[in-house]
Structure 1
């Protein structure tokens, strides 16, 4: 769970000016309530970051007791399990934004909150605020499994840590999030040390396993050389098992979510090729447009990963 304090800290402090309106289908009075303007942290989630605005508008809704709250943009339902920044990146790319200087045209970001007619055919089931937290925790543990090649890091996260981390995500508090992250790392490393001490393999078995691991590494290097990939990541240390990457491909009415194991030494262009996507596509990563193909995916992940540890690449 290593964090790039400088670059990622800047990402966490990024906010999006928003205007939230109550759906006309939910208005109980003759006149709709005034829209609510607020700044939403890129790293947070709609239902967490906009919870106060939702409650303020709930009183003007016909179905004020409904727990199935959902948001839409341009009449398109917004996925509650994706970070705010990723949803905004999708919105921009859909609307033809291809460089950062054009972002201002789409601000404030206009969101509509609904308390009825939940689009269950499009969105995952939502039963209240705990649903978003549950999906966040599951995605975080999935990302940690990809990073470390085992579930032990995810298992090191206690319920108390989960609550503190989710609270920090809700308000975009990087400092608190990092403190919890550091505690998880410390507990994980202590557990790994204990795991090593409890290693019951014989000395002969340990030597055999080391030889096999070396042979596997040499075979992999030879295969990469045959494919002409010997220069990829040359001289760079492979620090994690794989990089948690999700590519969100916009096209047609349905957005495609693609996820595969990605080696730490790959470039963005190689990742797109692995995912079956043309390297010339428009792309945006954490609000950054036109990221070059030769950018190393590990560096992008360290700087631009979301709170759930996935690097989201939106392409069109």
Structure 2
């Protein structure tokens, strides 16, 4: 991890989003009256099931009983995938597009989402969004990232139960040092990565795009633009941003196409060691046309 920059890594880890969580008008609850919206700040790298865990004590104090396996959230009527990091969800549904110098000027915060307790949309999102299932999904992504990087899942599979618990709990509790004391062993290899763990997201309802993207070679360090042109040539006909119809966004920031791909993988990946990049089209307020 010679390209690792701890200052950038810590900044990403500390990234937060303010949320306004409101009961959907159709919800039937045990409380005498519908509670006011709750304003809460969450980590961009966190997950909606962790938000549910945070809200539980608040709602309990209001006399509202919650069952985590039935709780789900929507934004503008669209159910939110609980196994996606919250920061990715925000970028996917909200990040406005203009020219790069003014990128993000129209961003609306806090992000206003609705919470539901009934009529779980099993046809649109995975069932049972609890802490345990979220942890299982997180570990599955780590295994996949490990395989793409190294051609084997031995690093994840050989982790002790203690290290697995520490990795997850440090994410839950926001403890950067404890997380990286374990995660660094999943990334360090002494060799170039075989492939870059990378997923692309096209707003709104397209499934994630994942293709094998080779890691750096000794002769030619790959750039983000190389990966975009390889996977989405219609939107990225070249590595010249002026000639492209879209912009890659990660952690709420437009990513220059001349960014080294290996550097991005070392420094900009999410807690599951994937680069989750939203592809947003220029000149629209809500991403790509659906």
Pair 1:173–1:97, CA change in 2 (3 A)? farther
Q: Secondary structure of 1:161's match? A: helix
Report the CA distance between 1:262 and its aligned residue: 1.2
Report the CA distance between 1:5 and its aligned residue: 2.0
TM-score, length basis structure 1 = 0.75
Equivalence for 2:230: 274
Equivalence for 1:243: 196
Report the CA distance between 1:97 and its aligned residue: 6.3
Q: Secondary structure of 1:256's match? A: coil
TM-score, length basis structure 2 = 0.81
Q: Which moved more, 1:1-10 or 1:80-89?
A: 1-10
TM alignment of 1:1-316, pairs within 5 A: 4-28=5-29, 29=31, 31-57=33-59, 64-65=66-67, 67-93=69-95, 95-96=96-97, 102=104, 105-126=107-128, 128-182=130-184, 239-250=192-203, 254-265=205-216, 266-277=222-233, 278-279=235-236, 280=244, 281-289=246-254, 291-316=255-280
Report the CA distance between 1:9 and its aligned residue: 1.2
Pair 1:5–1:162, CA change in 2 (3 A)? same
Alignment check: 8 A CA contact 1:71 1:112 kept: yes
Report the CA distance between 1:65 and its aligned residue: 3.9
Pair 1:261–1:76, CA change in 2 (3 A)? same
Report the CA distance between 1:273 and its aligned residue: 2.1
Pair 1:244–1:79, CA change in 2 (3 A)? same
Higher fraction of helix: 1
Q: Following the alignment from structure 1 to structure 2, what is the Cα–Cα distance between the partners of residues 60 and 5? A: 42
Q: Following the alignment from structure 1 to structure 2, what is the Cα–Cα distance between the partners of residues 293 and 137? A: 30
Report the CA distance between 1:52 and its aligned residue: 1.6
Q: Which moved more, 1:54-63 or 1:20-29?
A: 54-63
Structure (1 or 2) with the larger CA radius of gyration? 1
Aligned-pair RMSD on alpha carbons?
A: 2.7
Q: Secondary structure of 1:282's match? A: strand
Alignment check: 8 A CA contact 2:97 2:104 kept: no
Q: Following the alignment from structure 2 to structure 1, what is the Cα–Cα distance between the partners of residues 269 and 183? A: 14
